[in-house]
Amino acid sequence: MTWEEFNEAVRTYLLIDSQRKGKGVQDYIDRMIVASVIDLQRYVPTFRANQIKHFSVSNLVEPNPETLTGVNSEDINAHQGDFIQSKTRIKQVLVRRIPTEDNQQDISRYFKMKVIPWERRFDLIDGTNRERTTGYPGRVAFGGTTFITAPKIREDEAMYLYYEGEKHYAPAFKATENELKDPVIFDDLVAKASSDYVKAHLSREVDNDLNQYKSFFELYVKDRAQIFINEKEYASSSAQQIIGQGIGSGGFVIG
């Protein structure tokens, strides 16, 4: 499910409330969906443990040679992107290359990138960056609010950043196309909980109905508790399966 699809699912559960009229009401609904997701992440640890960020050529740029180094822009075989690293832990960076007629692949290929210290970012900008291969999957360096990766992400590639931390999504009404396409780890049960959260705040802030607010918020609290139980049980059973298969803590599965 993408961030856009999740918002659509929440609005489906909102029923008639999703079509509410009034100045700023639709934007308010989008912002309350974001607020509900933030609240759920703070209550359910597994939602913070498995975050995904997607990057492609459309939301990456070349590093500015005037501000970073003195090389000519023609020599730069690197991309720069935005990522706020505050209170996050990078777990894994993968590049997926999808099959096309040009690359003559039958299936997608995955490359596990090497993370290097930000202090060595000039190696990526000025250094020689060979074509991405299994033996040379590429490198990436993270700063406070940005990252630089080399070699450049190709048109048939996408970079997936797996990290642990709290993710603040953009409200749907102001999200970019790439932000809307971001994969999320939420399902329909989470969408239902989010809709109850939104209904509660619409009742209080728009309708000024505290009784309805309490009723919907109680539903949300029950939804949230059930999600916590479900996620806790799933995390426990998944860990046992991984240990049983001998994959170990360093193993990963790509769907």
The yes-or-no verdict on residue 87 having pLDDT over 90 is: no
Q: What is the DSSP string of 5-43?
A: HHHHHHHHHHGGGGG--STTHHHHHHHHHHHHHHHHHHH
Segment 204-213 long-range contacts (CB within 8 Å, at least 24 positions apart):
205/28, 206/20, 206/22, 206/25, 206/28
Residue-averaged pLDDT of the chain: 86
Q: With bands split at pLDDT 50, 70 and 90, how would you rate the model's confidence at 234?
A: confident
The yes-or-no verdict on residue 237 having pLDDT over 50 is: no
pLDDT value for 85: 65
Q: With bands split at pLDDT 50, 70 and 90, how would you rate the model's confidence at 74?
A: low
What pLDDT, in 10s, does the model give residues 136-192?
A: 999 999 998 899 999 999 999 999 999 998 888 999 999 998 889 988 989 999 999
pLDDT value for 255: 31
Return the number of other C-beta atoms located less than 10 Å from residue 251's C-beta.
Answer: 10
Please give the Cα distance from 131 to 103 (Å, whole number). 13
pLDDT value for 55: 93
Q: Are 10 and 194 in contact (CB under 8 A)?
A: yes
The yes-or-no verdict on residue 242 having pLDDT over 50 is: no
pLDDT value for 122: 87
The residue-averaged pLDDT of 209-215 equals 97
Q: What is the DSSP string of 116-132?
A: E-GGGHHHHHHS--PPP
Q: Are 38 and 215 in contact (CB under 8 A)?
A: no
* Partners of 111 in beta bridges: 95
pLDDT value for 253: 33
pLDDT value for 129: 79
pLDDT value for 66: 54
117 prior amide bond cis, ω within 30: no
